[in-house]
Amino acid sequence: MTFRCNGNTITLTARFGVTHFRKEDRQITDLIERADKALYEAKSKGRNRVELAACR
């Protein structure tokens, strides 16, 4: 997304890794690890991406 602000052109891109907390998760680090993996997958596929962690 590109927009102008005070005479400047600003370009924004975003990448997100999304997951959910499962009942078998024992620690918050389980959730963070899955979200982090999904984020790196989004980054590897380019700009403006949302990747969902596998729901197993």
Q: Tell me the pLDDT tens digit for each residue of 15-43.
A: 999 999 888 889 999 999 999 999 999 99
Q: How far is CA 15 from the centre of its chain?
A: 5
> What is the model's pLDDT at position 14?
95
Which tops the pLDDT comparison, 22 or 9? 9
Neighbours of 32 (CB within 10 A): 12
- Residues 39 and 49: their CA atoms lie apart, in Å, by 9
> What is the model's pLDDT at position 56?
58
Distances (CA, A) of 3 to 7, 13, 28, 32: 10, 12, 37, 32
pLDDT band at 13 (very low <50, low <70, confident <90, very high): very high
